[in-house]
Structures are given as structure tokens and as C-alpha cells.
A and B are shown apart, each in its own frame.
Chain A
Amino acid sequence: MEGIEIAMLGVALAVGLAGSGSAIGIGIVGQSACGLISEDPDKFGQTLLLQALPGTQGIYGLLAGFLIMQDIGIVGEELVELTTWQGYAYLMAALPIAIAGLSSGIYQGRVLASSINLIAKRPEEMGKGIVYAVMVETYAVFALLATILMLFGIAV
């Protein structure tokens, strides 16, 4: 493979895996939320807010993918000539957010599914449910940070 294909594999992994994490997480929360809505339709707004939270991993993945695409010229100007090793560097840089995005999306979804139970009983405690979920997201943020720093370190 040439450098450009390897770099695009990185884009695919970052967007695809982190997006899958978000999709699974949002799916889990959605299932719980439907259960609650069957009892109390007025909580739709609150549950929607909780359900939106695991969406950030997918956004981080897209962000990382976008940064790579911009670097290698898929978005915007002409394609940049990459050596195989530069291509691998982009692939590696994409991995942190791809991996941590997948796992933290899923687990954040699980925490939030429990938060749905929490607001079923005590709607006023929604803030605390969100705080617990954000603990999980921390690692996606750090992975994004590592990805970004690695990307900025690659010289093309």
C-alpha cells in the first residue's frame, strides 16, 4: 500500500470505530429511555439530553478523521504525496480515539441507561447522572488529545 491508503485506513478507523461506540451507547440509552417514556412521556426532553451524551465519541472520531483528511489533502486542495511510513504515522495517530471512542461510547451508554432509571425515580438528580457519565467520557477526551498531539507531530 502507498502512504495515502494507509492514512485513509486511519481515517476509516477513527470515524468508524468511535462512531460505532457512540451508536451502541446511544442505542443502549434509547432502549432504557423508551421504557421510561411508556410510563411517563413528559420526561422525553430529559431522556433525549441523556441519550445525546454518548454521541460525543463519534464526534471526536469525525474530528480526528477530518484533521487527517485535511492534512493529506482529501478535503480541500490536492492530494499530498505520502511515503509509506508517513501513512503508518497517520494510522497510528488515529488509533487512540478509534479504540477509546469505541469502548467509552459503549460504557457511557451503560452508565446513562442507569441514569434513566435514576431520573425515573428522582428527576431532580439528573445532573448527578450526567456527572457519572462524564467520568467515562474523560478517556475519550484524553484519547482525542493523544490523537491530536500525534497528528500535529507528523511532518509532511
Chain B
Amino acid sequence: MPIIDMKKVYILGHRQERTRVFNLLHKMGTVELLDVKSGEGWKEFQDLLEPEQLPDNISQIDSKRSDIRFCLDFFQRHFPIRKSMIEQFTGSRLDLTDEQFNSYIEALEQVEEIYKACREAEEDLVRIRNEETQSHNLIEDLQPWVPLDLPLEEVEEGSWTMMDLFIVPVEQYSALLEDLPETISEYCLDEVFSDEENVYFFFSALAEKKQAIDELFRGKAVSRASFPDVTGTPSDIIDSLNKKLEELAQERSAVLKEVEKLLVHRPMLMACYDYMDNEHAKHQAMANLAGTDNSFLLEGWAPVPIMDDLETTISENTETAVLTSREPEPDEDVPVLLHNKGPAEPYEVVTKLYSTPKRNELDPTPFMAPFFFLYFGICLSDAGYGILLGLLAFYLYRKLTLGESGRQLLKLLMLGGISAFAFGILLGGYFGDLIELPPLLFNPLEEPMTMLIAALAIGLFQVYFGMGLQAYRNIKGGKPLDALYDQGFWFIFLNGLILLVTGINPAGQWMAVVGGAGLVLTQGRSQSSVILKFFSGLLSLYNVTQYLSDVLSYSRLFALGLASVVIGMVVNSVGELAAGSIIGYVVLVIILIGGHFFNMIISTLSSYVHTSRLQYLEFFNKFFEGGGRSFQPLRVKNNYVDIVESEEN
């Protein structure tokens, strides 16, 4: 039974045991909670029952959680834990035993202290960075004035003279020099420095001419350089700023050293974060309950196979809680949990990527699995790559701790490796043409048409199979006539056309006529008037292009299978060019290993995605709707740690 039956469960108990029941459910992870207030019993009992409020301490939990998050992020910023290539896909977790985890949780009070220390360190670091930026900016501004051997505080306006530092764009400078004598007669202009853009100069004149000078300067885009807060000559200031920068750098490393001492707490914080996160989820879920002063009521979905287990757990571990259950109503929104057995199980990951099936719908996984297995092998079709891929996936499967989808994906790749190995032997691919063994069946490079026709034939079979499944659904849904009209006539019509076009059997034309006539007569049956019925029936024949393109799409099996083998051959012949001398053989080996590994990865990727695509667009659209809601039980979710069996066990 690929889709697990669900039962609606109600748990009623004394209020004091509410948390205990919740912890049990959370640990088992097998019940999806529902909001009692939206359930059908709510209207009848709403006078009796009080909706549960969010617990008061949830905001405390939330703030504690974000404190821990802050510390962890802070550590990550300054002392990052690097993830390996594989961990970037799987996520890296800390493995902890139950005892370790619990001992970390007991240290929860320390969090506040660590948080305070982190906050202070963060503030220090921000301050240091700001001061550094300021100093850098000031140094940059002062740099042009270094030749000026004058303490900056002495550059100021007196009652009789004005003096200041100015910057003017290079292209305005000569015009300024020309215009100045026309405005005032006595002045002192001393060019300090010039670069590609600006000229930096010292200027002094009589104070009474200030207004005229300002006006002239404004017209020439002259700007004033002012350094209000510093004293000394520019080069002295720069020296002291550089010294300050050094001090700041030392201060920073001192702060970071303090932070580094805190790093020992990192595992504890990770454990605490996950603990708090789960507490938060649990408390939030409590808002789904309802109750009276002394009791609580919980509503949810649970898979039928674990019902007994759930019942005994509840009754053994609590004194008052009672569990009742009932079958779902026909129109209820039941969550869907897929459960396939044996070799079809890993292919659930392909189905789930498309959509979760609806309740009461066929789970397409077991029907799709053999096709997926077959196509993956045809696309890769190399015995060498098959063995390598299978072993690699097996190694990763053993080594990594993964979620359900990850494990399914690796199992799928293992099976894919086996399939590719088999097709490699059948079609004669061993690392391209590295090992030349005669194929058991035929060589697609020599008989491309055979291969192409085989690919299309498999495709046609899968398309028919999909139609058959839809016909089965129609019959089971009490609409046998729909099965005849929508699938039966098409089946006759298409087969007739194939026989006709290929000229295998002249009876084909009669089949095509019968099937076609059936389609014209029935495909317009939802229309109101006779004329509309006829025309939409006639128009439906156009759908033959849809079937044609579906089947032609399977030609990719041939193209991809050929591609992986031929690229392997390219690698081999490039390597051959290098062979000859000793160095040449070293190069040859490097090219062979690198090239074949690269080709295996790329070919595996395209085998996987193109095979998936064939299932989604050519197969699933014949009979599968999807759009179901997947089962999401209340359960322990960890971000940072994995609880593992303790080592003695």
C-alpha cells in the first residue's frame, strides 16, 4: 500500500499532563496536529471549551533562542566552521550522544553570560572598525598636504589676514591664476601638491578682500580643505594616525582572543539552540489545543500502522490521557504519507519533487520506478561508470548521516549504477572504448537506427502504460465509458496510425478510422449543441501531435546514451595523443582519470534530470494529478546537532 491510511486521533487528558503528552508526541514524531478550533466538533462544544492561548513563556523562549543564535552567528562570522563540498548539500551537524546533549542542556544558564560577553565583544569590534575607517579616511584626505610643513591649527583666519587650504580641479587652475591678479593685488598662493585631478594650494590674503575672493573661488569650483579636529603638521598627524591604527589592530586581536576563549561553549550553544528551537515549536503547537480549566483536548492525524504503538505509549506513560480515533470522512483534507517497499522506495524522491499525490489517488512511484531504473541505465550506458557510480553512492550512503530524501537519492543512484552497468555490457560501453569488448546486444554507434527505434518503442510503451493507468482510474471511479472514450479510442486510433504509417499491416487504416470516428463522436461530449460537439470532437484529433511529440521526446534516451559513451571515447583519444614517452603515459593516466570522472559526473547529472523529465512530462501527465498535502508531524527538528547512539551500544 504505497499511500498510508491515516486516522484522526483525539487525545483527552488532565491539564497537568499536557506537557508530558506533548513531549511524548514530539519525541515519537508521528502525529500531525490540527487546530481544534477549526475542527468539526468545535461548534458544538465551543461553549464548553476554552481555546488555548499561546503560553506566556513563549516570548522568553523566543528571546533566549535568538540570543543563542546571535552568539552562534557571531562565532561563525569570526571563526567560521567551514563546510566541505558534500556537507554543503547534506548540512554539517555535530554528533552528540544523549548524555552529552543533556549535560549541555543543563548548562543553559551559562548562555546569558556568554551572550553578554559576545555582545560586548561585538560592540568593541564595531567601535574599532569605525575608528579604523575614520583614520583611514583622514589619512587619505591628509596625504596631498604632506609637503606643507605647517601645523594645521595655525592655518586660521586672523583679524587682518585670511589664510586657508584649497583644492581646485586641474583644468580650472590656470584660469584661476589668470583671474586672481584682476580681483586683488596682494595675495600669497603656494602650490603644495598636484595630481591628475586636483591642485592643492595654500592661499592667504587680506581679510577685507574675503568676499571678492570667495566669489572668484566659487566660480572656479575651488573647495576648502578643512581639518578641524587635528593639530600638528600633516605628516606628524599621519604618523600618529598610523600608530593609532596599529593600536586598534592590536586591540582587535585582543578582543578576538577573548572571543576565541568562548569558543569552547560552541557545542553547548548548538545543543541549546536546537533544544530551545524545539521547545519553541512545541509551545507554538500548544496553541492548537483547546480545553477546560482542568482538561485539554488535542486533535490530529496519525498513520494507521503506528496507532497501536501510539496508544500503548500514551496509556503507559500517562495516568489520565485517553486516545480515541476514527476513520477520515470522505471530504476531509487528509495529509499524505508515501510508503513504498523494496526497490521502489528510493524513487519516492522523484515523485515528491513533482508533487505529493492526493489522498485516494494512485501513488505513481511503483509504476514509474522500473522505467526510471531502465532509462537511467540507457542514458549512462557505460559499465565502468555504472560500477564507479554505484560504489561512490554506496560509500556516501554508508558514511553520511542524511535525511530521508538524501538517503533515497543515494539509493536511487546506486540502483542507477547497477542499471548503467547492465546497459554498458549490453551495448558495449566500458569507459567509452577503453576496454573493447563486443556488446551483448548491438553497438548503438554502428546501428543507430535500431537504438533510436528501441528508444521510441520503450517510450510508446510507457505512454500507453500511463493511458492504461488513467483508464484504470476511470473504471475504478465508476466511469468505464470515459475509459473507453478517452483512452480506448485513442489506443485504437494511435495503433491504427502506427500500423498505417509503418505499413506493417493494412488493417491499420480500418483501426485508425474506427478509433478516429470514435474520438470525433465522443470527445465533444461536454459541449452543449450538436455542432459544437462535432467540431470539438474533430478538433480533438489534433491531439495526435501531442502523442507524437511525447513519443519523440524519448529519442533523448538514444542521444544521451550515445553522448556519454562518445565523450568517453573523446577522453580516450585525447589521452592517446599524449601516450608514447614516460611523461606521456603519466599525462595519459591523468587525462583518463580526470576526463572519465568528469564525464561520469556530468552524464549522471543529465541522466538523472532527463529521466525525471520523461516521467514528469510524458508519463505523469497521462494519469497523475498530484497536489496532495504531505504529512508533517510534530517532531524533533535539529539544526546543529544529531543525537547518535552512545558509543558503548
Point out residues on A near B: beta carbons under 8 Å.
Answer: 42-46, 49, 52-53, 55-56, 59-60, 62-63, 66-67, 75-76, 127-128, 130-131, 134-135, 137-138, 141-142, 144-145, 148-149, 152
A149 to chain B, nearest CB (A): 7
A49-B605, A53-B605, A67-B566 are known contacts. Are A42 and B83 too (CB-CB below 8 A)? yes
A66-B570, A134-B613, A138-B556 are known contacts. Are A56 and B85 too (CB-CB below 8 A)? no
Whether the pair A42, B555 counts as a contact (CB closer than 8 A) is no
20 A-B residue pairings within 8 Å (CB atoms): A42-B83, A44-B88, A45-B86, A45-B88, A52-B602, A56-B606, A60-B563, A63-B567, A127-B353, A128-B353, A130-B609, A131-B609, A138-B613, A141-B556, A141-B560, A141-B610, A144-B563, A145-B558, A149-B448, A152-B449
B559 within 8 A of A: yes
B569 within 8 A of A: yes
Question: Given the complex of chains A and B, what is the CA–CA distance between A100 and B567 in angstroms?
Answer: 19
B318 within 8 A of A: no
> Which residues in window 599-621 of B have CB below 8 A to A?
602, 605-606, 609-610, 612-613, 616
Closest to B350 in A: A127
A31 to chain B, nearest CB (A): 20
Question: Given the complex of chains A and B, what is the CA–CA distance between A55 and B606 in angstroms?
Answer: 11
Question: Given the complex of chains A and B, what is the CA–CA distance between A142 and B553 in angstroms?
Answer: 8
B21 within 8 A of A: no
Question: Given the complex of chains A and B, what is the CA–CA distance between A85 and B176 in angstroms?
Answer: 76
A76 to chain B, nearest CB (A): 7
Closest to B80 in A: A41
Point out residues on B near A: beta carbons under 8 Å.
Answer: 83, 85-86, 88-89, 353, 448-449, 452, 553, 555-556, 558-560, 562-563, 566-567, 569-570, 573, 602, 605-606, 609-610, 612-613, 616
Question: Given the complex of chains A and B, what is the CA–CA distance between A52 and B605 in angstroms?
Answer: 10
Whether the pair B573, A75 counts as a contact (CB closer than 8 A) is yes
A59-B567, A76-B573, A131-B616 are known contacts. Are A145 and B555 too (CB-CB below 8 A)? yes
B378 to chain A, nearest CB (A): 13
New contact pairs (18) apart from A42-B88, A63-B570, CB-CB < 8 Å: A45-B86, A45-B89, A53-B605, A63-B562, A63-B563, A63-B566, A66-B569, A66-B573, A76-B573, A134-B610, A137-B610, A138-B556, A138-B613, A141-B560, A141-B610, A145-B555, A145-B556, A145-B558
Question: Given the complex of chains A and B, what is the CA–CA distance between A76 and B570 in angstroms?
Answer: 11
A38 to chain B, nearest CB (A): 14
Whether the pair A152, B567 counts as a contact (CB closer than 8 A) is no
Whether the pair B562, A148 counts as a contact (CB closer than 8 A) is yes
Whether the pair A131, B613 counts as a contact (CB closer than 8 A) is yes
Closest to A65 in B: B570
Residues in chain A near residue B88, CB distance under 8 A = 42-46
Question: Given the complex of chains A and B, what is the CA–CA distance between A142 and B448 in angstroms?
Answer: 15
Residues in chain B near residue A52, CB distance under 8 A = 602, 605
Whether the pair A142, B612 counts as a contact (CB closer than 8 A) is no
Question: Given the complex of chains A and B, what is the CA–CA distance between A56 and B603 in angstroms?
Answer: 9
Residues in chain B near residue A144, CB distance under 8 A = 559, 563
A142 to chain B, nearest CB (A): 7
Whether the pair A131, B612 counts as a contact (CB closer than 8 A) is yes
Question: Given the complex of chains A and B, what is the CA–CA distance between A63 and B570 in angstroms?
Answer: 8
Name A59's contact: one of B85, B89, B563, B610 (CB within 8 Å). Answer: B563
Residues in chain A near residue B569, CB distance under 8 A = 66
Name A56's contact: one of B89, B353, B602 (CB within 8 Å). Answer: B602
Residues in chain B near residue A67, CB distance under 8 A = 566
Question: Given the complex of chains A and B, what is the CA–CA distance between A134 and B553 in angstroms?
Answer: 13
Residues in chain A near residue B573, CB distance under 8 A = 66, 75-76
A29 to chain B, nearest CB (A): 14
Closest to B566 in A: A63
Whether the pair A148, B605 counts as a contact (CB closer than 8 A) is no
Whether the pair A46, B89 counts as a contact (CB closer than 8 A) is yes
Question: Given the complex of chains A and B, what is the CA–CA distance between A44 and B610 in angstroms?
Answer: 24
Residues in chain B near residue A63, CB distance under 8 A = 562-563, 566-567, 570
A111 to chain B, nearest CB (A): 13
The 6 closest A-B pairs by CB, nearest first: A45-B88, A145-B559, A127-B353, A134-B609, A141-B556, A152-B448
A11 to chain B, nearest CB (A): 13
Question: Given the complex of chains A and B, what is the CA–CA distance between A128 and B605 in angstroms?
Answer: 14
Closest to A133 in B: B609
Residues in chain A near residue B602, CB distance under 8 A = 52, 55-56, 59
Name A149's contact: one of B353, B452, B560 (CB within 8 Å). Answer: B452
Question: Given the complex of chains A and B, what is the CA–CA distance between A142 and B86 in angstroms?
Answer: 33
Question: Given the complex of chains A and B, what is the CA–CA distance between A149 and B86 in angstroms?
Answer: 39
Whether the pair B613, A142 counts as a contact (CB closer than 8 A) is no
Residues in chain B near residue A66, CB distance under 8 A = 566, 569-570, 573
Residues in chain B near residue A152, CB distance under 8 A = 448-449
Question: Given the complex of chains A and B, what is the CA–CA distance between A115 and B452 in angstroms?
Answer: 33
B408 to chain A, nearest CB (A): 12
Residues in chain B near residue A137, CB distance under 8 A = 606, 610
Residues in chain A near residue B353, CB distance under 8 A = 127-128, 131
Residues in chain A near residue B85, CB distance under 8 A = 44-45
Question: Given the complex of chains A and B, what is the CA–CA distance between A52 and B613 in angstroms?
Answer: 18
Residues in chain A near residue B605, CB distance under 8 A = 49, 52-53
Whether the pair A148, B570 counts as a contact (CB closer than 8 A) is no
A131 to chain B, nearest CB (A): 6
Closest to B83 in A: A42
Residues in chain B near residue A148, CB distance under 8 A = 448, 559, 562
B410 to chain A, nearest CB (A): 15
Residues in chain A near residue B609, CB distance under 8 A = 130-131, 134
Closest to B449 in A: A152
Question: Given the complex of chains A and B, what is the CA–CA distance between A62 and B563 in angstroms?
Answer: 10
Residues in chain B near residue A60, CB distance under 8 A = 563
Residues in chain B near residue A138, CB distance under 8 A = 553, 556, 613
Name B559's contact: one of A46, A130, A134, A141 (CB within 8 Å). Answer: A141
